[in-house]
């Protein structure tokens, strides 16, 4: 999971550049996790933003910790998960900013991943496309794709793009 | 529906044992603990000889921990190196513990010692947990959790045999986890607990491990330590009742499934207070049985033949 997307230029990481044409009418949402295929979704969404406008939004869901018999231990687990979330969000937002030239919209939520995704999409009308990546291992495309594309697809407000996890950066570049 | 337990040398109601396994399994599913600290006293209450309760319970923990560790292994939440050092201590401690166990058994004092140790352990743990939950319920709003100052240097850092644990991002003396393993190993052998109750806070606050690694790593070593206890208890003290263990495992697995499914929908504070009360209740009952006038003043025990 540690390979950050290729830095495709010397774009400054940081604030929106006024020179770049930014349209806020289209927001690509990517859900961060630690699977290798997530990188494909991230790259795909970032390149689409760069090539055809829009904005990138990143969601990190902090899964609820198990209830620990010791409360202080439980509190510490929650705190460390939050720190982990902030680190991950920071890392990926910088990596995508290098592609898109603008900082993505960041969401950190507590809860179950599949529920929070749907809740966020319902609460934020600006989100217009959900980009997921399908795992290529023997375990199938992964729980998120299974759930969102399968069971609750009929209830989704936005289209879902499923990026095959084995696409190389060049192939993604060609597609976007 | 009664069956005869060959090692415990008594008949028990199958439904009762399955039910007990279910209840304790449920709790262990919710809290992610083995539940040995509750199951062993419960077994003693229904008349299983304490020595058999301990030996058999260790067996059940092996089964319960295996399923848990697989999930953590997949998520890469096991610090193998740390687990190995803990395990080395654990194997040593549990072997010493089983030897102590047979010594006490030959002296005829094992049942008393088990009960006494349980009163001390459950009393301490129960009171600490109750204090924590009462404080939380009273205060409601809590600040950010902290582990005190990180990298606080004290005499523990001056110990020799420093070792690097990459996964846990630690550079500490290997003696620390080893000794922790020994202590929990001894408890495991004499009390039939996995010891995660003591292990987890010790790993976090004493060793300074990241919390993400703690559960998986402690489960990893618990499996092998309790397996060692089961083997030695069966071989040396003949106190493992496989049929009883089977009943407990069946009840426990089903209960744990329910527990882990419903656990996330329940409020932590109330559950924790409930667990603390249960622990104290069990402790009180053990204490009462220790000091109450027995129903019959004499009990006959045959010396262990070997």
**Residue B28, min C-alpha distance to chain A (Å):** 10
Using the Cβ of B201 and the Cβ atoms of chain A, whether some distance falls under 8 Å is answered with yes
Total domains in chain A come to 1
Examine the pLDDT at B120 and tell me if it is beyond 90: yes
**Residue A44, min C-alpha distance to chain B (Å):** 26
Sign of CA dihedral A35, A49, A93, A153: negative
Task: Write the pLDDT tens digit of every residue in B207-230.
Answer: 888 888 888 898 899 999 999 999
For residue A73, what is the domain's CATH number?
3.40.50.620
Query: Does any domain span residue A2?
Result: no
Is A120:A109 a contact under the CB 8 Å cutoff? yes
For B91, phi then psi, to 5°, come to -65, -45
Residues of chain A neighbouring B265 (CB-CB closer than 8 A): none
**Residue B148, min C-alpha distance to chain A (Å):** 11
pLDDT for B183: 94
For A69, phi then psi, to 5°, come to -60, -35
* Mean pLDDT of chain B, nearest integer: 83
Q: Which residue of B has its CA nearest to A75?
A: B145
Query: Does any domain span residue A99?
Result: yes
Using the Cβ of B203 and the Cβ atoms of chain A, whether some distance falls under 8 Å is answered with no
Per residue of chain A (176 residues), give pLDDT as tens: 344 444 444 444 444 444 444 445 789 999 998 888 888 899 999 998 888 888 899 999 998 777 777 888 888 888 888 998 999 999 999 988 888 888 899 999 988 888 899 989 988 888 989 999 888 877 778 888 888 888 787 888 889 989 888 888 888 888 87
ipTM attached to this prediction? 0.75
For A107, phi then psi, to 5°, come to -125, 130
Q: Under 8 Å CB-to-CB from B81, ≥6 apart: which residues?
A: B163, B165, B166, B167
Task: Write the pLDDT tens digit of every residue in A58-72.
Answer: 999 998 777 777 888
Examine the pLDDT at B30 and tell me if it is beyond 50: yes
Query: Does any domain span residue A15?
Result: no
Task: Write the pLDDT tens digit of every residue in B40-71.
Answer: 899 988 988 888 898 888 888 887 778 777 77
* Mean pLDDT of chain A, nearest integer: 81
Q: By residue range, what is the domain housing residue A164?
A: 27-175
């Amino acid at each position: 999971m540690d390979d950050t997307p290729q830095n495709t230029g010397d774009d400054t990481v940081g604030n929106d550049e006024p020179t770049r044409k930014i349209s806020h009418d289209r927001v690509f949402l990517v859900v961060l996790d630690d699977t290798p295929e997530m990188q494909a979704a991230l790259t795909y969404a970032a390149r689409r933003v760069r090539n055809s406008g829009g904005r990138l939004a990143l969601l990190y869901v902090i899964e609820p910790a198990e209830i620990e018999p010791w409360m202080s231990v439980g509190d510490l687990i929650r705190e460390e998960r939050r720190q982990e979330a902030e680190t991950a969000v920071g890392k990926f937002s910088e990596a995508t900013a290098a592609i898109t030239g603008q900082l993505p919209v960041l969401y950190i939520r507590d809860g179950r991943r599949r529920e929070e995704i749907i809740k966020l999409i319902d609460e934020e009308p600006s989100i217009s496309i959900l980009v997921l990546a399908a795992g290529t291992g023997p375990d199938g495309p992964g729980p998120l794709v299974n759930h969102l594309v399968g069971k609750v697809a009929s209830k989704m407000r936005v289209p879902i793009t499923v990026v095959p996890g084995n696409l190389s950066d060049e192939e993604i570049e060609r597609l976007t | 529906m009664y069956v005869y337990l060959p090692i415990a040398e008594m008949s028990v109601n199958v439904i009762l044992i399955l039910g007990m396994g279910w209840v304790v399994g449920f709790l262990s599913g919710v809290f992610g603990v083995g539940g040995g600290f509750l199951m062993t006293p419960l077994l003693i209450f229904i008349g299983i000889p304490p020595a058999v309760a301990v030996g058999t319970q260790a067996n059940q923990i092996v089964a319960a921990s295996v399923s848990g560790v697989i999930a953590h292994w997949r998520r890469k939440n096991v610090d193998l190196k740390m687990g190995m050092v803990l395990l080395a201590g654990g194997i040593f401690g549990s072997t010493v513990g089983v030897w102590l166990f047979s010594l006490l058994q030959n002296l005829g004092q094992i049942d008393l010692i088990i009960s006494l140790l349980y009163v001390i352990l459950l009393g301490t743990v129960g009171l600490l947990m109750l204090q924590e939950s009462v404080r939380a319920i009273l205060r409601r709003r809590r600040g950010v959790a902290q582990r005190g100052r990180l990298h606080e240097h004290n005499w523990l850092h001056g110990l020799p045999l420093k070792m690097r644990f990459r996964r846990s991002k630690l550079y500490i003396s290997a003696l620390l986890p080893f000794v922790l393993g020994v202590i929990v190993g001894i408890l495991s052998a004499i009390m039939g607990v996995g010891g995660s109750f003591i292990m987890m806070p010790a790993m976090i606050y004493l060793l300074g491990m990241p919390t993400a690694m703690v559960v998986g790593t402690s489960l990893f070593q618990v499996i092998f330590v309790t397996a060692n206890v089961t083997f030695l208890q069966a071989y040396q003290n003949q106190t493992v009742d496989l049929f009883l263990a089977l009943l407990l495992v069946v009840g426990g697995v089903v209960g744990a499934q329910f527990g882990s499914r419903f656990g996330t929908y329940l409020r932590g504070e109330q559950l924790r207070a409930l667990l603390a009360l249960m622990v104290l209740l069990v402790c009180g009952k053990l204490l009462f049985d220790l000091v109450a006038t027995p129903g019959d003043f004499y009990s006959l025990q045959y010396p262990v033949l070997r």
